[in-house]
Structure formats: C-alpha cells, structure tokens
Structure 1
Amino acid sequence: MMDKLMIVEDSLENVDGGFAFLGRLPYYRGLGLSMVEDIQVTIDGEKIAREDVRFSVRGKTYTLDEMETVYDDRWNFGEKAKITALKAGGLAPGQHKLELAVRNRVSYLPFVPTTKCVKEVALAA
C-alpha cells in the first residue's frame, strides 16, 4: 500500500551533477538511517550505481555507505527525503520512467524487505 506513495509527485528536477526527486519511507514507522540498507534508483531502464546515490534529510546529505553507520539520524514516517542520482548532464525535459526500491532492516522481521515503486514522471523544460 505505501509503495505507491514512495515517489513524491511533481518532485523530479535536474540538479548540479544529476537529477533528484523526493521520496518517502515505505514503512509505517520511522527508521534510523543505519537500518536503510539500500536505495536503488533506476531511470528509463538505467540503474544508477549505488555510489552515485545521495540521500538528504533535514539539511544533511549522506552517501549510502555513510548511512550504514548513522545512528543519530532518522527517516521518519511520511517525511520527504531528497534522493539525488549523479548522472552527467541530468535528464532531458519530458516523461521519464522512475523506479525507486528501498531495502530496510527491521529488527522483528526474519527477512529484509525491499519495497519498490515505479512511476511515470515529468521533468519540466
């Protein structure tokens, strides 16, 4: 159910060095950043490398490797985080197929869930 809300509508933009969009945590509670094991971004069928993904919340930006040891910051339920993908030249204006997959580690689950959202999004000219 919450997978449909992961990618925030009308948030896609080009930024210096790539593109960014807003994303929500696909979990009914907030999680410490060290419990977010992976964030995968795919645009128009091209998977962005893990080392080229950045995560920003409340004015702080992290690489995914840095997030593994962040115990004093959280991604709260409903909070919009900025997810940046480094991609030379950014994206061309128009429609794009954006995929976001988030893998969380939840202490009481015997497995590590990955939740995925796919949306057609537009980048304004």
Structure 2
Amino acid sequence: MFDKYILVDGSLRETADGFAFDAMLGYYRGLGLSMIEDLVVSIDGDPVSRDAISFDEGKGPIALDDMEQAYDRRWPFGNKATIAVKRPEALGAGDHRLSLKEVLRISYLPFPLVAEDSKMLTLAPMAAA
C-alpha cells in the first residue's frame, strides 16, 4: 500500500562504520517494535547480514534481535526511522540500488505483512576533514 514511500529519497549517507538511510513504515498504522519481525536490506544486489543492521526510531539504536523484547518502543506511521548497516568497506559516492523489506506482524492478519521498496539513491562524497 505505502511501499513506494518506504525508502526516503536523499537519506543515504556514510557512517564511521558503514552506511545509514531513513525509512518509513509500510503500514497505515504505527507498530510496536516487537511487532517488526524482520528488516531485510540489500545494497547493489548484495544482501546485508541481519546482525549488521540496527534500527532507531528516535530512542537510540537497537539490534533487530532485541526489537522482539522492545515492548515500550513504537514506530509511528509517517515518522522516519534510521536504519544503519555496519560493513567493513566504504560504500563509495555515487548511485546505489538500495532495497528494504519490512516483515510486520499485524494483530488481525493470520500471516505477516511484507512491505518492500527498492530505489536508486545517491551517496554524496564525504566532506574533507
């Protein structure tokens, strides 16, 4: 339903230990983090290991495995969250194909809701120190 709005244009950026980007929830209501079963990321066709991904809806980064117990945290509809990926090599400036799949547990659905987006995002060169 809201799949084309999941990845936020212009949000791809380098971090000290990898890269990060902003995303929005692909569901029309907010969800508790414990109801997000998985976030699957790939960059330029290469899948990212689940343990290299962290999520931050504004209350600080949390590992995907720890989200299952995060009963006091919520991702409101329409709010951006930061997804960070640790990787040993720099991503490099330029265009990159980023894909995100959100696997969501919805209380009234007997199956997980899967929302996906894939876009070409541009990583700006890092500023000189």
TM range (shorter): over 0.9
Q: For 1:4 and 1:91, how far apart are their aligned partners in 2?
A: 23
Is 1:60 matched up with 2:60?
yes
RMSD between aligned residues: 0.8
Shift of 1:113: 1.4
Aligned length: 125
Counterpart for residue 90 of structure 1: 90
Query: Which letter does structure 2 place at the counterpart of 1:91?
Result: L
| 1:55-112 alpha-carbon deviations (Å, 9 max, x no partner) | 0111311000000110001000011000001111331100000000000000100111
TM-score, structure 1 normalization:
0.97
Q: For 1:45 and 1:89, how far apart are their aligned partners in 2?
A: 16
SS in structure 2 at match of 1:11: coil
Gaps of 5+ in 1: none
TM-score, structure 2 normalization:
0.94
Query: Which letter does structure 2 place at the counterpart of 1:32?
Result: G
**Identical positions, percent:** 44
Normalized per residue, which structure has more strand?
1
Q: For 1:89 and 1:17, how far apart are their aligned partners in 2?
A: 8
Counterpart for residue 44 of structure 1: 44
Q: 5 Å matches for 1:101-120?
A: 101-120=101-120
